[in-house]
Structure 1
Amino acid sequence: MLLEVDGLCVNYGHIEAIRDISFGVEEGTITTLIGANGAGKTTTLKTISGLRKVRAGTIKFDGKDITNLPPFERVMMGLSQSPEGRGCFPGMTVLENLDMGAYVRKDRKTPAYRADLDRVFDLFPRLKEREKQAAGSMSGGEQQMLAIGRALMAKPRLVLLDEPSMGLAPKLIQQIFTIISEINSQGTTVLLVEQNAAQALKRSHHAHILETGEIVKSGTGAQLASDDSVKAAYLGGDV
């Protein structure tokens, strides 16, 4: 198991945001967390990447306990995140944003670095066209592509994607999910938080449903997509 979350509890002050959740992410898979707003999905990702303090429980990455490691050390181990809301640096160019994603790498002047940059441009040709453009002047869809591309420049074994389809037009949503599947097929493990449950479950090997900070149902993407209670709550009655 590449990522193991065991008995995780996280508080915001006196409020329990996550209560005793446990799940794993197998290497080479796409695992999705779905649930309503406030269910604890984003908090889970932030805690895995080191941006939230753990009250109880452990997080292991590739067998190593990373529960109390600072975020940059987790990135160096091969774990990176594309945050909710994209978080691009608006005054910096596309190329500069991508370079920021690789800040922990020591091989920036090597062919390996160029190959990873080319991989991002192959996945997102629009970014190649805009490489000298300020990120803040691009559309929401382009900024989402940039946020994912920036996370990939850290050369992660596991990439955390938080609401990658939020606020995008339907055509772009389809494109983003196709690219997520391509990223996974190229060898990067994906942990996905997503409101568009139908699209996410269609592409996921494993999925978990969070409600008020607890995992209430788990299964394969196909199992949850065909579950009547899941359909009623998250899929509008159908996939």
Structure 2
Amino acid sequence: MKMLLEVEDLQVNYGHIEAIRGVSFSVPEGTVTSLVGANGAGKTTTLKTVSGLRKVRGGAIRFQGEDITHLAPFERVKRGISQSPEGRGCFPGMTVSENLDMGAFLRKDRKTAAYREDLERVFTLFPRLKEREKQAAGSMSGGEQQMLAIGRALMSRPKLLLLDEPSMGLAPKLIQQIFTIITEINEQGTTVLLVEQNAAQALKRSHDAHILETGEIVRSGKGAELAVDPAVKAAYLGGDV
């Protein structure tokens, strides 16, 4: 299977603190790959480093075979990497429509049918956003803002979608809905790298998964296999479930 993203011996520091210590993993094209772990394990730092928001101390990041280790974040967006950040990061004073347009800021085809098709794709995935098209993002619920953050990331037409804690702070019913939509996005052809504390949902939806602890990958495998691994179940799934 063709590898879309390859991370090799990644090392990232916060000052003198080692946040990521020799992390290596690959994301096969067309899959959902998850990074699972507790708070402080290094999941978000890894994702930010892939998107160019954290500097690399050591190691390499390759996307479609090209070394992007030191590329600026906007150059990575141009190549097809887009992120929905932890905490959603919606522009509160801007409308849903304006937020979605910000996701396409590097596109030069905003007046074309292709752009309108991508907008309709987002509205089909998230009908609530169509209903709230002219509403300020800051007046929306947490679940609606999460939908907007994912929709905004999709507007750059990414090959690789980075999702950072999409279920954080959401009610159980909304969590299920968000993960169902993540699966649908993947089935439509977008590769997904998912960072998630909700290990049960993440492993259920993932082709491949990696368990992070204190900046290191301690276990890797198929999502379905890790979901029934006794050690993983004891640590992240509440024992026998």
TM over 0.5: yes
TM-score, length-scaled by structure 2: 0.99
Give the match's secondary structure for 1:6: strand
Distance in 2 separating the partners of 1:73 and 1:205: 28
TM superposition shift of 1:238 = 3.5
Aligned ranges 1:20-31 → 2 under 5 Å: 20-31=22-33
Distance in 1 separating the partners of 2:224 and 2:132: 37
Of 204, 208, 217 in structure 2, the residue corresponding to residue 215 of structure 1 is: 217
Distance in 2 separating the partners of 1:187 and 1:104: 21
Of 89, 101, 104 in structure 1, the residue corresponding to residue 103 of structure 2 is: 101
Q: Aligned AA for 2:62?
A: K
Distance in 1 separating the partners of 2:26 and 2:101: 30
| Alignment-derived partner of residue 81 in structure 1 | 83
Of 36, 48, 66 in structure 2, the residue corresponding to residue 64 of structure 1 is: 66
Distance in 2 separating the partners of 1:13 and 1:224: 33
Distance in 1 separating the partners of 2:72 and 2:59: 16
Of 52, 55, 75 in structure 2, the residue corresponding to residue 53 of structure 1 is: 55
Give the match's secondary structure for 1:2: strand
| Alignment-derived partner of residue 161 in structure 1 | 163
Distance in 2 separating the partners of 1:89 and 1:209: 32
| Alignment-derived partner of residue 236 in structure 1 | 238
Distance in 2 separating the partners of 1:53 and 1:196: 27
Cα deviation digits, residues 11-33 of structure 1 (max 9, x gap): 00000000001000000000000
1:111 aligns with 2:137: no
1:171 aligns with 2:173: yes
Of 130, 140, 143 in structure 1, the residue corresponding to residue 142 of structure 2 is: 140
Cα deviation digits, residues 148-206 of structure 1 (max 9, x gap): 00000010000000000000000000000000000000000000001110011001000
Of 196, 199, 204 in structure 2, the residue corresponding to residue 197 of structure 1 is: 199
TM superposition shift of 1:237 = 1.1
Distance in 2 separating the partners of 1:12 and 1:102: 31
| Alignment-derived partner of residue 33 in structure 1 | 35
**Count of residues paired in the alignment:** 239
Distance in 2 separating the partners of 1:121 and 1:235: 33
Cα deviation digits, residues 40-67 of structure 1 (max 9, x gap): 0000000000000000000000000000
Q: Which runs of 5+ in 1 are unaligned?
A: none
Distance in 1 separating the partners of 2:240 and 2:220: 18
Q: Aligned AA for 1:184?
A: N
Give the match's secondary structure for 1:237: coil
1:187 aligns with 2:198: no
Percent of counterpart pairs with the same letter?
A: 83
TM superposition shift of 1:127 = 0.1
Cα deviation digits, residues 82-119 of structure 1 (max 9, x gap): 00000000000000000000001010000000000000
Distance in 2 separating the partners of 1:112 and 1:58: 34
Q: Which runs of 5+ in 2 are unaligned?
A: none
Distance in 2 separating the partners of 1:47 and 1:167: 24
> Where do 4+ consecutive residues of structure 1 move more than 4 Å?
none
